[in-house]
Structure formats: structure tokens, C-alpha cells
Amino acid sequence: MFRIGQSSDIHQLIQGRKLILGGVEIDHERGLLGHSDADALLHAIAESILGALALGDLGKHFPDTAKEYKDMNSLWMLQEVYKMMDKQGYKINNLDALIMIERPKMAPHIAKMRENVAAALHCDIDQVSIKATRGEKMGFVGREEGVLAQCIVLLIKK
């Protein structure tokens, strides 16, 4: 049996925060605003898995009002979502994710992001696709106001 899920996550770029995407800290003058480490890519991936399992959204499991999740490492959160998926008897067939960010360039970081996601989800790296695109100076991405990440995932029964 297959299950499919999809999600998008948006975070504002601001001064005074680290830019963390895919579990990789990226050198940049601004970072993402959020209760946790604000890793939009990992949030989109985790929530797409929750959606495929009909378990609701990230806020249901990791509320931004809970002090224990303040500045939380999103790789930990993704590992917790993996446990939920595993408990229901599913595994990753494949996932395809997209980061929309004007700059910095993501290409130098994609391989490490894929490694991090594959490790957290106990799957092969060839089951994890991560791509990036720019806003071409249009919209909130193009104006460098924020980052949008999207993911679609296909789960398969073990």
C-alpha cells in the first residue's frame, strides 16, 4: 500500500538568526525566524510525512507554544516523525523537495542536506531528492524576505 503526502513551509529571513536548511548551517547574513531552528526544508519534509499518514500538521505534534521546542533542532523533529511513520508500518519510497531562496546558492549544500535527511529517515540517499530555485527578484522569495520549501513524499508499507 502506498500513501502520498505534500507540504510547504515558509519562514521569514531576519538578522540575528542562523540560516539552517536541511540540517546544514549555511553562512549568510540572515537566518530564518521561528520558534525552533526554523529549518523550512526539514519542516516541509516532516509535515509531508505526517500528511501521508493522516496525522495532522507539525503544530499538532510540536506546538510553537511549548517551551521544550524553543530553538529545537529540526533533525531531531524529523527523527521523531520517522518513529511515527515506522510505528504505523511505513517507510520512505521516495521524496522530492524544493527550496525557494534567492541567495545564497544552495548547490554547495545539497549533498549534505540529502545525507542528513536520508540518515534521519533511515533510507538510501537515492530516495531523497532536494532541489533549489530562486525567485528571480519576484515575490517575497525574490525580494529576500523569506524562504519557501516544499516536499512531496511517497510512503510504502513495509
Would you list which residues are annotated within the binding site for a divalent metal cation? Answer: 9, 11, 43
Give CA–CA dist 94/128, Å, rounded: 6
Residues ≥6 apart with Cβ < 8 Å to 20: 26, 31, 32, 37, 38, 39, 74
What residues are designated binding site? 9-11, 35-36, 43, 57-59, 101-107, 140, 143
Report the candidate in 25, 52, 126, 39 with the shortest Cα–Cα distance to residue 78.
39
- Half-sphere exposure in the Cβ direction for 93 (13 Å, CA): 13
Is-contact 28 48, C-beta < 8 A? no
Residues ≥6 apart with Cβ < 8 Å to 142: 102, 134, 135, 136
Strand, helix or coil for residue 149: strand
Give CA–CA dist 153/50, Å, rounded: 10
